[in-house]
Amino acid sequence: MGSMERADAARNRTRILEAAALLFAQRPPHDVTMDDIAKAAGVGRGTLYRRYPDRASIAVALLDEHERDLQERLLRGEPPLGPGAPPAERLAAFYAAMVGLLEGHSHLVLGSEVGRSRFETGAYGFWRAHVRALLTAAGTPGPDALVDVLLAPLAPEVYLYQRTVLGLTPERITEALTTLTGALRGPE
Amino acid sequence: MGSMERADAARNRTRILEAAALLFAQRPPHDVTMDDIAKAAGVGRGTLYRRYPDRASIAVALLDEHERDLQERLLRGEPPLGPGAPPAERLAAFYAAMVGLLEGHSHLVLGSEVGRSRFETGAYGFWRAHVRALLTAAGTPGPDALVDVLLAPLAPEVYLYQRTVLGLTPERITEALTTLTGALRGPE
DNA sequence: CAGATATGTGGACACGCTGTCCGGATAATA
DNA sequence: TATTATCCGGACAGCGTGTCCACATATCTG
């Protein structure tokens, strides 16, 4: 059984990931070509494509651990992020945590959406299920339409625009997002 | 002075616009190549590139009149869309109007963002200024961060996802957006 | 109504990126 | 050390983009 990874393959995988992380941090994802990553990692094109069929899968791999960490805290962590607090407070905590994640890795989130739609990623499904559960718990009417509305401001393009072009601080953005938790009460 | 457009040039321009409108309605914008448009319009590549340097500019040209119409109604139309109504009602009316525009032309809006960022388009600046003025009029604290948060759900990807994948009706989406107008009151 | 001129036209061209493929190299195993 | 399965990496073809220039044609002039 080939369940054991060969030593040189493992070495190359870490090289690829490190090189990609560096490149994604330097320029916008679309300007990073597969060739660039292969060159920077000191690896041939074929080797790169064997493991990662496109840029998005590399960004996803880089992003994976950070997202899993937050997902774990949402499911089983301390309140108000985890279970136990009122829905509105949990939503506010979720927003704050997502701002933290975007602050550190927005370029990766952006990179993970190259080519495919933001909504097709597994992570979006998780965030969606979480917020939808909060809406249901709060008794908000018509949660299905509201979920994506509440999630939309967390798109990496929006966050990067607010941070880079407008020069807003993460605190200000979190504050604005917190305003949305009022929507849990439903319209007047 | 050559301010007069030559007859054959005008004819070709309408041909290009008609062909492009048809193609954009049929398939996702990224799958429509400049070559496709040129072929469908019965025009050479050079002719196409002379007028429109990329797909986005064609979509913008197609979208222009619809956007101008809404912008005109926002500035000088009847309340609650135009001036005169309370900010929260004007925001709700704006949302409803944008849903109407997206319902008819979301593929064009999507096409107009190919390559460039959504925020770089002139239209976004207009929507942004309008909503910001409403927030200021309502005395909402920190309008600069909130504007883009309130505009984010109007991204064409979000709307198309809600309509196509989730199968939501325009009415349900408008309803969910209306919920956001509560944010004008600021956090509790 | 010709001739002159400016403008528009359309296809050929070079470039860059993508994704695949296969001969050679190398690690794992006996 | 010999064998074998796996991995590596560069070459290759296909596609889309954007540019360029010889030719065609509308518009202007005498």
Q: Which residue stretches of B112-169 are H helix? A: 122-137, 143-151, 156-160
pLDDT for B3: 54
Neighbouring-strand partners of residue B85: B83
Q: What six digits make up the tokens of B55?
A: 């797909």
d(C-alpha B55, C-alpha B59), whole Å: 6
Q: What six digits make up the tokens of A83?
A: 């279970």
Please tell me which of the candidates B144, B176, B188 has its beta carbon nearest to residue A182: B188
Q: What six digits make up the tokens of B1?
A: 């002075």
Instruction: Give me the A residues in range 37-96 that sit within 7 A (CB) of strand D.
Output: 42-47, 49-50
Give the SS3 label for residue B85: strand
The whole-model pTM stands at 0.92
Give the dihedral of Cα atoms B145, B147, B153, B155; nearest 10 deg. -100
Nucleotides of C under 7 A from a protein CB: 6-13, 16-22, 26-29
User: What residues contact A26, with CB distance under 8 A and at least 6 apart?
Assistant: none
User: What residues contact B185, with CB distance under 8 A and at least 6 apart?
Assistant: A182, B88, B138, B140
Residue ranges in chain A whose pLDDT is less than 50: 1-2, 187-188
pLDDT for B161: 95
Q: Which residue stretches of A42-137 are H helix? A: 45-51, 55-76, 87-111, 122-137
Q: What is the mean pLDDT of residues B34-59?
A: 93
pLDDT for B2: 42
pLDDT for B131: 98
pLDDT for B166: 97
Residue B1's pLDDT band (boundaries 50, 70, 90)?
Answer: very low
B9: pLDDT strictly greater than 90: no
B85 φ/ψ angles, rounded to the nearest 5 degrees: -90, 165
- Which nucleotide has its C1' atom closest to residue A7's CA? C27
Higher pLDDT, B97 or B112: B97
- Report how many Cβ contacts below 8 Å link chain A to chain B: 96
Short-list A139, A178, A95, A153, CA closest to B158: A153
Q: What six digits make up the tokens of A52?
A: 């990662």
Interaxial angle between packed helices A143-151 and A122-137, expressed in degrees from 0 to 180 and rounded to the nearest 10: 130
pLDDT tens figures, B135-162? 999 999 999 999 999 999 999 999 999 9
